[in-house]
Chain A
């Protein structure tokens, strides 16, 4: 018979689940859990400067490791500050466990100090959530949270634990088993066979890969499928790296900021094989005009994604890796010379224009200069905005989990704490966070965390003193009426980094920016690399929001 407090039990259950690092911020209602953590020899607690930073650090770890990672906050504002990071994890299907302290059970509903209805607030942004009402319930809730977070389509799970439940003694015979993901749903082999014959019969097929391919660890199988059946392959923002960007069959990213030829190839497709993607509006533009001539095969582990946006002719609800392993032996090798040479000619006529690629003081040129300092082991994160799209277009991603970014929620402030998390999960890799001056300011306080942890994170800051993508849209779609998208006063980011104890280099005055950049990237430890860019550089091509992908401008 074992006896311990709820807080000690939580820590033991996390340890048994293999958790080595937790990101969090303490507070009154979480103090018993922090007291329990002080006794853990296994778990390293990363003290963040804002709970949102803790949420994104957990996300960064989870996006690199592929398994659930944990963030911890107190009640009230601690919990509400976590919310953006939890919602972000929901939209990108990232397995995180958010643990929050809550006021004691007897005080719930009394507007107690730092009381907020964390359970109610997080219902629509979690895969599942728990309000634990006795220490004994922790024996089931904590393992269930891990199981739910990592099974089927992954996602965030929140466990709200009142302070008295953390302090309550609980007796039990033995610890619950360490949980593993549930078996993926079984699927219909007849549908796989039908998909194989549709691929064989198609004349102009396109493979469309989404983040599910990364989550499932199925990138190599997707590439094999493409090679075997000669399928030109496009990737969503979430899937970049699933097929190397320099692969002859790669069409790069589709959608709002995809290359012209990519969207034109999709326009001509007679079969679209969608694997682990969800027909997001930023990817497909106007739904009715996306792949207007194509039949659709849709493979996704989440049944509710099938037929949600586009009706599929063959829909298979299953783990994409398992489905692809059944599909591969059924797909006949084909050369498709005519289609591939047509795709090649579209690529030649409508390539992605990357002006300034040779100039490290321009966006594309800087991104390429960074890539030239790194190999495929590096991890690249980004914030949200113009820099994100430039990196998505231009960075030579070549492997799964190389690229971490906020796809669904589009959260400015994601990139830097996610990079810290990535570096904590993979301390042997260099992590580069591309950011903008708007995004970086949204979680800039985590510079203190990066300096404290001495993580190998380089921020490459493309500073245009504006909210670039808003500025761009106001220029293009709102009659050039620039409203609230330019920062009137410049910010001295170098001084800020210095103030937080983080190294900073400025490429602007550097006589040889490539050399300065390489030195900064190759020196271990956190560093801010600052570069001014022209606020009138726009991301092109661009599909106006809501328009068809064929209506690209630029």
Chain B
């Protein structure tokens, strides 16, 4: 048996290419406490999911925050959103088109 298997080798799949150029804006309602950003950013970083921009401010009384993420469209996006929705501190996730104005007027701060 081992002779016949001498030429076997382990098959390791290639890293899939993800080179979308369409931008998407995600709006997340989250519980406001230290650590929430780590939970969310960790999910994206682990999967090498390109996050272009992040905005986060508390809302109302400060019990919750809203996070805006500017990301590149990617075939993994629906799976990514489901993972984000699973986080205990994430209250909702809404998907907007890339031209959503929230990031629009920030250019002057990044010159």
Contacts and interface: CB of A to CB of B under 8 A. Distances in A.
Given A131-B35, A553-B1, A544 B8 contact: yes
A450 B6 CA distance: 44
A545 interface: yes
Contacts of B5: 476-477, 553
Contacts of A148: 88
B38 A546 contact: no
B42 A546 contact: no
B79 interface: yes
Interface stretch (A7-15, A122-130, A259-267): A122-130
Contacts of A554: 1
Given A476-B2, A546-B11, A304 B39 contact: no
A545 B11 contact: yes
Interface string B30-52: 00001100110010001000000
Interface of chain B: mostly helix, strand, loop or mixed: loop
Contacts of A475: 2
B78 to A, nearest CB: 8
Contact of B82 (A127, A304, A476): A304
7 contacts: A131-B34, A304-B86, A476-B2, A477-B9, A544-B8, A544-B11, A553-B1
A285 B70 CA distance: 35
Interface centre among B10, B12, B78 (most CB of A within 10 A): B10
Given A120-B35, A554-B1, 13 more contacts: A123-B39, A123-B42, A128-B89, A131-B34, A131-B35, A302-B86, A303-B82, A303-B85, A304-B85, A307-B78, A476-B8, A477-B9, A553-B1
Contacts of B38: 120, 123
A interface, how many residues as a size bin? 20 to 34
Nearest to B76: A308
B10 A544 contact: yes
A506 B38 CA distance: 52
A128 B35 contact: no
Interface in B64-81: 78-79
Contacts of A473: 10
Given A124-B46, A127-B88, A128-B88, A304 B83 contact: yes
Interface centre among A127, A476, A545 (most CB of B within 10 A): A476
The 10 lowest CB-CB distance pairs between A and B, nearest first, are: A546-B11, A304-B82, A128-B88, A545-B10, A477-B10, A476-B5, A547-B11, A304-B83, A477-B8, A123-B42
A480 interface: yes
A205 B76 CA distance: 30
B15 to A, nearest CB: 13
Nearest to A476: B5
A473 B6 CA distance: 11
B60 interface: no
Nearest to A131: B35
A546 B82 contact: no
A152 to B, nearest CB: 9
A307 B12 contact: no
Interface string A474-497: 011101100000000000000000
Interface string A538-554: 00100011110000011
B53 interface: no
B35 A119 contact: yes
